[in-house]
Structure 1
Amino acid sequence: MTEQRTIQADPAPQVHGLRPVETAARLTGWALLLAGLGHALRAVWEIRLWTAGEPASGPPDQGDGVHRPLNSLESSYHLVTSLVGVTMVICAVFFISWMWRVRDNSVALSRERPKYAGFWVYLGWVLPVANLWIPRGMIADAYRKSVPGRMLPSVVTVWWVLWLVGMACGTGLFYRDGTDKLIERAYSAVWPLLFSEAAMAAAAVTGFLMVRAVTTAQLDRIASLTADRRIEG
């Protein structure tokens, strides 16, 4: 009596410690584009404020804690600014989640300690001075450890420069203006605001390309290692 056996191929050997990153990258990319759209929309409203001109009653913030009632255009600018804030929060949540994953995967692929400790994934964005280079540095380190010997894509640096320019010249890094103060600036000197919105929108688009480039390189390395181990097995 002949014994029949079903022979199943062993699954391809896997790199231990890897985390799924493709979906996180896709969500992060769309969140970045959504945030960029928000900045473009706010730029439209700032142009509308500038062309309408400041009302005879003066700016919304009249000093000494006195605020006059907003007109309809100013109220709608408040709404648009709130929407921009929501898109930025969504983008931050997805982006940080993606950063964690590519960082952890780079450790799994290289078996080397990362250049920056894990708490910098959060603290690197908010700590003054350090936030000028650490987020980009973490992504660059993850890329280099994932695909050693390959040159860092220029889009990583372009994205970071645009982000810093947008934050510095408009509303974030050096300006802590409330929305009423932004309205006042739109009436009197709109060009720095528009330059900031353009830089932030461009940073969102290049950020989308950066996330795709880093993720694709990491996925290609994972696929290559998996194929090599299958052959060795």
Structure 2
Amino acid sequence: MYDVASALVDGRTGEGIRRKADHADSLYSAAGYAQTGALLATIVVFLVWFHRARVNAEVFDPFGHSKSRGWAIGGWFVPILNLWRPRRVMLDIWDASIRQGSRTTHGLVNVWWALWLASLVAYRDSTAEHRDARTALEIQHAAGRATFADAADIAAALLAILVVLRLTRMQHEKALRGPAGTAL
């Protein structure tokens, strides 16, 4: 899309550019459907994992949670609250899952969350810009913004994978150690 718009901005026209534009539109649409399908599947898997991690964390520390179990899923769907509530639940889970006596930082969670929010804003802006684009230059700019939004989304997804792996490992190790205060 970006390359076709660039060609149009440079003044190149003709049947070849028209075919490339049609092909770019088809690819853009197919990529959107693929991304939506992958996102929906990932949402389901992540929410099941997140709720399970919250239940596990309650076993490790029954009184260390500022929000109830329901917020592990519901917090993602309540407008405005979904900008910070899931992060708060994640931090409670993280803190409950850390090895007793260890110091923990929330750096990985905070960077993941910041990138995820940035990707949401970038996606929203690029979608609006693409929808309103009327000239080749506007389409080119919108395609560049969409590429940035996708890059931010990929970075957030990679960090989410690291968060899931790290937290799952922390919970596994804590479960293997057994109840606190008992000699092994």
Give the TM-score normalised by the residue count of structure 2.
0.77
**1:109 partner letter:** F
**How much is the aligned-residue C-alpha RMSD, in angstroms?**
3.0
Structure 1 Cα separation of the partners of residues 58 and 132 of structure 2 = 43
Cα deviation, 1:30-49, whole Å, max 9, x if unaligned, reads xxxxxxxxxxxxxxxx4345
Cα deviation, 1:25-72, whole Å, max 9, x if unaligned, reads xxxxxxxxxxxxxxxxxxxxx43454354898xxxxxxxxxxxxx823
Cα deviation, 1:75-114, whole Å, max 9, x if unaligned, reads 2211110000001001101110110111000101113263
Cα deviation, 1:138-190, whole Å, max 9, x if unaligned, reads 1110111122553134111111100000101223xx67659x72886643433
Q: CA, structure 1 residues 186+123, in 2 after alignment: closer, same or farther (shift >3 Å)?
A: farther
Quick one: which of 12, 23, 32 aligns to 1:81? 32
Query: Bigger relative contact order, structure 1 or 2, given CA contacts below 8 A and separation 6+?
Result: 1
Q: Which residue of 1 aligns with 2:56?
A: 105
Does the 8 Å contact 1:53/1:187 carry over to 2?
no
Which of the pair has more CA radius of gyration? 1
Does the 8 Å contact 1:103/1:142 carry over to 2?
yes
Cα offset, 1:128, TM superposition: 2.1
Q: Which residue of 1 aligns with 2:114?
A: 161
Cα deviation, 1:169-221, whole Å, max 9, x if unaligned, reads 223xx67659x728866434333222211111100111111111111111111
Count of residue correspondences: 170
Quick one: which of 142, 148, 153 aligns to 1:200? 153
Identity of aligned residues (%): 24
Structure 2 Cα separation of the partners of residues 223 and 183 of structure 1 = 56
Q: CA, structure 1 residues 71+144, in 2 after alignment: closer, same or farther (shift >3 Å)?
A: same
Structure 1 Cα separation of the partners of residues 65 and 25 of structure 2 = 47
Structure 2 Cα separation of the partners of residues 53 and 163 of structure 1 = 33
Q: CA, structure 1 residues 49+100, in 2 after alignment: closer, same or farther (shift >3 Å)?
A: farther
Q: CA, structure 1 residues 186+156, in 2 after alignment: closer, same or farther (shift >3 Å)?
A: farther
Pairing 1:47–2:2 present: yes
Mind listing any 5+ residue stretches in structure 2 that lack a counterpart? 14-20
Q: Which residue of 2 aligns with 1:220?
A: 173
Give the TM-score normalised by the residue count of structure 1.
0.62
Q: CA, structure 1 residues 88+117, in 2 after alignment: closer, same or farther (shift >3 Å)?
A: same
**1:91 partner letter:** T
Q: CA, structure 1 residues 176+76, in 2 after alignment: closer, same or farther (shift >3 Å)?
A: closer
**1:51 partner letter:** S
User: Helix, strand or coil for the counterpart of 1:95?
Assistant: helix
Q: Which residue of 2 aligns with 1:125?
A: 76
Structure 2 Cα separation of the partners of residues 76 and 182 of structure 1 = 20
Mind listing any 5+ residue stretches in structure 1 that lack a counterpart? 1-45, 57-69
User: Helix, strand or coil for the counterpart of 2:79?
Assistant: coil
